[in-house]
Copies of this chain bind each other. A is one copy, B any other.
Amino acid sequence: MDKGKKKHILSPHRLKLHEIIFEADTPFGKLFDVVLLISIIASVGVVMLESVASIKAEYGNILFIAEWSFTILFSLEYLLRLYSIGHPTLYARSFYGIVDLVSILPTFLSLVFPGSQYFITIRLLRMLRVFRVLKFVQYLGEANQLAEAMKASRKKILVFLLAVLIIVVIVGSLMYVIEGEENGFKNIPQSIYWAIVTLTTVGYGDISPQTPIGQILASMIMIVGYGIIAVPTGIVTAEFTKSKNEKISTQACPSCASEGHDHDAKHCKHCGEEL
Protein backbone atom coordinates (compact mmCIF):
# COMPACT_ATOMS: atom_id res chain seq x y z
CA MET A 1 0.00 0.00 0.00
CA ASP A 2 1.29 3.39 -0.97
CA LYS A 3 0.58 5.33 2.20
CA GLY A 4 2.14 8.54 0.90
CA LYS A 5 -0.43 8.67 -1.87
CA LYS A 6 -3.33 8.00 0.47
CA LYS A 7 -2.36 10.86 2.76
CA HIS A 8 -3.00 13.27 -0.09
CA ILE A 9 -6.43 11.84 -0.79
CA LEU A 10 -7.84 11.15 2.69
CA SER A 11 -8.88 13.82 5.19
CA PRO A 12 -7.42 13.47 8.71
CA HIS A 13 -10.44 11.76 10.28
CA ARG A 14 -10.77 9.34 7.36
CA LEU A 15 -7.08 8.63 7.81
CA LYS A 16 -7.71 7.95 11.51
CA LEU A 17 -10.60 5.63 10.56
CA HIS A 18 -8.38 3.88 8.01
CA GLU A 19 -5.82 3.20 10.70
CA ILE A 20 -8.39 1.68 13.04
CA ILE A 21 -10.23 -0.39 10.47
CA PHE A 22 -7.52 -1.53 8.09
CA GLU A 23 -4.46 -1.74 10.28
CA ALA A 24 -3.62 -3.56 13.47
CA ASP A 25 -0.57 -1.64 14.72
CA THR A 26 -2.31 0.90 16.97
CA PRO A 27 -4.17 -0.17 20.15
CA PHE A 28 -7.52 0.94 18.68
CA GLY A 29 -6.75 -0.87 15.40
CA LYS A 30 -5.98 -4.06 17.25
CA LEU A 31 -9.04 -3.75 19.49
CA PHE A 32 -11.22 -3.23 16.39
CA ASP A 33 -9.87 -6.37 14.75
CA VAL A 34 -10.26 -8.51 17.86
CA VAL A 35 -13.86 -7.31 18.34
CA LEU A 36 -14.48 -8.03 14.65
CA LEU A 37 -13.16 -11.59 14.88
CA ILE A 38 -15.26 -12.34 17.97
CA SER A 39 -18.33 -10.86 16.22
CA ILE A 40 -17.76 -13.07 13.17
CA ILE A 41 -17.55 -16.23 15.26
CA ALA A 42 -20.54 -15.17 17.38
CA SER A 43 -22.66 -14.38 14.30
CA VAL A 44 -21.85 -17.76 12.72
CA GLY A 45 -22.71 -19.40 16.05
CA VAL A 46 -26.08 -17.60 16.09
CA VAL A 47 -26.98 -18.92 12.65
CA MET A 48 -25.92 -22.44 13.63
CA LEU A 49 -28.09 -22.37 16.74
CA GLU A 50 -31.00 -20.97 14.70
CA SER A 51 -30.92 -24.09 12.54
CA VAL A 52 -31.54 -26.33 15.57
CA ALA A 53 -35.33 -26.69 15.80
CA SER A 54 -35.53 -27.03 19.60
CA ILE A 55 -33.34 -23.97 20.22
CA LYS A 56 -35.16 -21.89 17.61
CA ALA A 57 -38.52 -22.71 19.24
CA GLU A 58 -37.36 -21.33 22.56
CA TYR A 59 -34.91 -18.54 21.71
CA GLY A 60 -36.05 -17.75 18.15
CA ASN A 61 -36.68 -14.05 18.84
CA ILE A 62 -33.34 -13.43 20.53
CA LEU A 63 -31.46 -15.21 17.75
CA PHE A 64 -33.39 -13.25 15.12
CA ILE A 65 -32.47 -9.95 16.77
CA ALA A 66 -28.85 -11.04 17.25
CA GLU A 67 -28.53 -12.07 13.62
CA TRP A 68 -29.86 -8.75 12.35
CA SER A 69 -27.73 -6.77 14.82
CA PHE A 70 -24.57 -8.50 13.58
CA THR A 71 -25.58 -7.98 9.96
CA ILE A 72 -26.28 -4.27 10.48
CA LEU A 73 -22.95 -3.94 12.31
CA PHE A 74 -21.09 -5.66 9.47
CA SER A 75 -22.97 -3.51 6.91
CA LEU A 76 -21.88 -0.34 8.73
CA GLU A 77 -18.34 -1.68 8.90
CA TYR A 78 -18.41 -2.35 5.14
CA LEU A 79 -19.59 1.19 4.41
CA LEU A 80 -16.92 2.63 6.72
CA ARG A 81 -14.29 0.57 4.92
CA LEU A 82 -15.44 1.98 1.60
CA TYR A 83 -15.46 5.49 3.06
CA SER A 84 -12.07 5.38 4.74
CA ILE A 85 -10.03 3.91 1.89
CA GLY A 86 -8.34 5.87 -0.86
CA HIS A 87 -9.52 3.69 -3.75
CA PRO A 88 -12.93 2.23 -2.77
CA THR A 89 -13.31 0.36 -6.07
CA LEU A 90 -9.95 -1.35 -5.63
CA TYR A 91 -11.01 -2.57 -2.17
CA ALA A 92 -14.48 -3.56 -3.38
CA ARG A 93 -12.94 -5.74 -6.07
CA SER A 94 -10.24 -7.28 -3.86
CA PHE A 95 -10.64 -10.76 -2.31
CA TYR A 96 -11.42 -9.39 1.15
CA GLY A 97 -13.74 -6.74 -0.28
CA ILE A 98 -15.86 -9.36 -2.03
CA VAL A 99 -15.86 -11.63 1.04
CA ASP A 100 -16.93 -8.69 3.22
CA LEU A 101 -19.85 -7.93 0.89
CA VAL A 102 -20.92 -11.53 0.44
CA SER A 103 -20.86 -11.94 4.23
CA ILE A 104 -23.71 -9.48 4.75
CA LEU A 105 -25.89 -10.30 1.76
CA PRO A 106 -27.46 -13.61 2.97
CA THR A 107 -29.37 -11.99 5.83
CA PHE A 108 -30.89 -9.40 3.49
CA LEU A 109 -31.61 -12.10 0.91
CA SER A 110 -33.43 -14.15 3.57
CA LEU A 111 -36.21 -11.51 3.50
CA VAL A 112 -36.94 -12.59 -0.08
CA PHE A 113 -35.72 -16.21 -0.07
CA PRO A 114 -36.19 -17.82 3.38
CA GLY A 115 -33.32 -20.12 4.27
CA SER A 116 -30.63 -18.13 2.52
CA GLN A 117 -29.43 -16.76 5.86
CA TYR A 118 -27.60 -20.05 6.37
CA PHE A 119 -25.16 -19.01 3.67
CA ILE A 120 -23.69 -16.44 6.03
CA THR A 121 -21.32 -19.12 7.28
CA ILE A 122 -19.29 -17.83 4.33
CA ARG A 123 -18.45 -15.10 6.85
CA LEU A 124 -15.88 -17.51 8.23
CA LEU A 125 -13.67 -16.66 5.28
CA ARG A 126 -13.22 -13.27 6.94
CA MET A 127 -11.45 -15.12 9.71
CA LEU A 128 -8.47 -15.47 7.41
CA ARG A 129 -7.74 -11.97 8.69
CA VAL A 130 -6.87 -13.57 12.00
CA PHE A 131 -3.35 -14.05 10.71
CA ARG A 132 -2.79 -10.34 10.26
CA VAL A 133 -4.47 -9.35 13.51
CA LEU A 134 -2.57 -11.69 15.74
CA LYS A 135 0.70 -10.85 14.02
CA PHE A 136 1.21 -14.48 13.14
CA VAL A 137 3.66 -13.53 10.45
CA GLN A 138 5.41 -16.85 10.77
CA TYR A 139 2.06 -18.62 10.36
CA LEU A 140 1.52 -16.64 7.16
CA GLY A 141 4.91 -17.91 6.04
CA GLU A 142 3.83 -21.48 6.75
CA ALA A 143 0.56 -20.92 4.89
CA ASN A 144 2.50 -19.52 1.95
CA GLN A 145 4.81 -22.52 1.98
CA LEU A 146 1.78 -24.82 1.93
CA ALA A 147 0.23 -22.80 -0.88
CA GLU A 148 3.45 -22.82 -2.90
CA ALA A 149 3.93 -26.58 -2.52
CA MET A 150 0.34 -26.94 -3.77
CA LYS A 151 0.96 -24.54 -6.64
CA ALA A 152 4.17 -26.28 -7.71
CA SER A 153 2.38 -29.64 -7.85
CA ARG A 154 -0.71 -28.12 -9.51
CA LYS A 155 -0.17 -29.72 -12.92
CA LYS A 156 0.58 -33.18 -11.56
CA ILE A 157 -2.52 -33.01 -9.37
CA LEU A 158 -4.68 -31.96 -12.35
CA VAL A 159 -3.42 -34.92 -14.40
CA PHE A 160 -4.15 -37.13 -11.38
CA LEU A 161 -7.68 -35.73 -10.98
CA LEU A 162 -8.43 -36.23 -14.69
CA ALA A 163 -7.33 -39.86 -14.38
CA VAL A 164 -9.52 -40.30 -11.27
CA LEU A 165 -12.47 -38.72 -13.11
CA ILE A 166 -12.14 -41.06 -16.10
CA ILE A 167 -11.85 -44.07 -13.76
CA VAL A 168 -14.97 -43.21 -11.75
CA VAL A 169 -17.09 -42.53 -14.85
CA ILE A 170 -16.11 -45.81 -16.52
CA VAL A 171 -16.40 -47.88 -13.31
CA GLY A 172 -19.68 -46.15 -12.43
CA SER A 173 -21.19 -47.07 -15.82
CA LEU A 174 -19.98 -50.66 -15.57
CA MET A 175 -21.51 -51.01 -12.12
CA TYR A 176 -24.82 -49.61 -13.37
CA VAL A 177 -24.90 -52.34 -16.04
CA ILE A 178 -23.74 -55.07 -13.62
CA GLU A 179 -25.81 -54.24 -10.55
CA GLY A 180 -28.79 -52.38 -12.01
CA GLU A 181 -31.60 -50.47 -10.36
CA GLU A 182 -32.75 -53.31 -8.12
CA ASN A 183 -29.49 -53.12 -6.13
CA GLY A 184 -29.57 -49.36 -5.60
CA PHE A 185 -27.56 -48.30 -8.66
CA LYS A 186 -30.51 -46.30 -10.00
CA ASN A 187 -28.73 -44.51 -12.85
CA ILE A 188 -25.23 -43.74 -14.15
CA PRO A 189 -24.75 -40.41 -12.31
CA GLN A 190 -25.61 -42.13 -9.03
CA SER A 191 -23.31 -45.04 -9.88
CA ILE A 192 -20.54 -42.51 -10.47
CA TYR A 193 -21.34 -41.01 -7.06
CA TRP A 194 -20.98 -44.52 -5.61
CA ALA A 195 -17.64 -44.95 -7.43
CA ILE A 196 -16.35 -41.71 -5.87
CA VAL A 197 -17.59 -42.76 -2.42
CA THR A 198 -15.71 -46.03 -2.87
CA LEU A 199 -12.52 -44.81 -4.53
CA THR A 200 -11.97 -42.16 -1.87
CA THR A 201 -12.45 -44.91 0.77
CA VAL A 202 -15.35 -42.99 2.36
CA GLY A 203 -17.77 -45.91 1.93
CA TYR A 204 -21.13 -44.73 3.28
CA GLY A 205 -22.81 -48.03 2.55
CA ASP A 206 -26.03 -46.33 1.38
CA ILE A 207 -25.34 -48.02 -1.96
CA SER A 208 -23.25 -51.20 -2.04
CA PRO A 209 -22.81 -53.96 -4.61
CA GLN A 210 -24.84 -57.15 -4.07
CA THR A 211 -23.88 -59.36 -7.01
CA PRO A 212 -20.61 -61.36 -6.99
CA ILE A 213 -19.33 -59.65 -10.16
CA GLY A 214 -20.20 -56.25 -8.72
CA GLN A 215 -18.33 -57.08 -5.53
CA ILE A 216 -15.26 -58.16 -7.51
CA LEU A 217 -15.26 -54.92 -9.49
CA ALA A 218 -15.84 -52.97 -6.26
CA SER A 219 -12.90 -54.77 -4.64
CA MET A 220 -10.70 -53.77 -7.54
CA ILE A 221 -11.65 -50.10 -7.39
CA MET A 222 -11.15 -50.15 -3.60
CA ILE A 223 -7.61 -51.48 -3.93
CA VAL A 224 -6.94 -48.93 -6.68
CA GLY A 225 -8.31 -46.15 -4.47
CA TYR A 226 -6.31 -47.42 -1.51
CA GLY A 227 -3.15 -47.50 -3.60
CA ILE A 228 -3.35 -44.33 -5.66
CA ILE A 229 -3.71 -42.11 -2.61
CA ALA A 230 0.04 -42.63 -2.63
CA VAL A 231 0.22 -40.45 -5.74
CA PRO A 232 -0.95 -37.04 -4.41
CA THR A 233 0.85 -37.79 -1.16
CA GLY A 234 4.05 -38.53 -3.03
CA ILE A 235 3.71 -35.38 -5.12
CA VAL A 236 3.12 -33.04 -2.19
CA THR A 237 5.76 -34.70 -0.01
CA ALA A 238 8.40 -34.46 -2.74
CA GLU A 239 7.49 -30.77 -3.07
CA PHE A 240 7.81 -30.21 0.68
CA THR A 241 11.12 -32.04 0.89
CA LYS A 242 12.38 -30.02 -2.07
CA SER A 243 11.34 -26.65 -0.60
CA LYS A 244 13.02 -27.70 2.64
CA ASN A 245 16.31 -28.31 0.85
CA GLU A 246 16.07 -25.13 -1.14
CA LYS A 247 15.71 -23.16 2.07
CA ILE A 248 19.31 -24.09 2.89
CA SER A 249 20.74 -21.99 0.05
CA THR A 250 21.08 -18.38 1.23
CA GLN A 251 24.37 -16.92 -0.06
CA ALA A 252 24.37 -14.29 -2.83
CA CYS A 253 27.23 -13.91 -5.34
CA PRO A 254 29.38 -10.81 -4.56
CA SER A 255 29.93 -10.19 -8.27
CA CYS A 256 26.61 -10.90 -10.01
CA ALA A 257 24.29 -11.01 -6.94
CA SER A 258 22.66 -14.24 -8.12
CA GLU A 259 21.24 -16.51 -5.40
CA GLY A 260 20.42 -20.18 -4.92
CA HIS A 261 23.93 -21.57 -4.56
CA ASP A 262 24.52 -24.94 -2.92
CA HIS A 263 26.13 -25.14 0.49
CA ASP A 264 29.31 -26.69 -0.82
CA ALA A 265 29.68 -24.16 -3.68
CA LYS A 266 32.97 -22.23 -3.70
CA HIS A 267 32.35 -20.37 -6.94
CA CYS A 268 29.25 -18.64 -8.30
CA LYS A 269 27.61 -21.02 -10.74
CA HIS A 270 26.60 -18.13 -13.02
CA CYS A 271 29.73 -15.98 -13.35
CA GLY A 272 32.46 -18.15 -11.80
CA GLU A 273 33.39 -15.53 -9.17
CA GLU A 274 34.65 -16.88 -5.86
CA LEU A 275 31.96 -16.80 -3.18
Contact = CB atoms under 8 A, between A and B. Distances in A.
Interface stretch (A27-35, A78-86, A90-98, A154-162): A154-162
A22 interface: no
A169 B229 contact: no
Interface stretch (A1-9, A10-18, A115-123): A115-123
A161 B124 contact: no
A169 to B, nearest CB: 5
How many of chain A's residues touch chain B, expressed as a range? 35 or more
A196 B222 contact: yes
Interface of A: 44, 47-48, 51-53, 115-116, 118-119, 121-122, 124-125, 127-128, 130, 138-139, 142-143, 145-146, 149, 155-162, 164, 166, 169-170, 172-174, 176-177, 181, 186-190, 192-193, 196-206, 208, 212, 215-216, 218-219, 222-223, 225-227, 229-242, 244, 260-262, 264-274
25 contacts: A51-B187, A53-B187, A121-B169, A121-B173, A122-B170, A138-B155, A139-B159, A145-B156, A189-B215, A196-B219, A200-B222, A200-B225, A201-B203, A206-B208, A227-B232, A229-B233, A233-B236, A237-B237, A237-B238, A242-B244, A264-B269, A266-B270, A266-B271, A267-B271, A269-B269
Given A121-B169, A229-B229, 11 more contacts: A51-B189, A119-B174, A121-B170, A193-B216, A197-B222, A200-B223, A201-B202, A233-B236, A238-B240, A261-B269, A268-B269
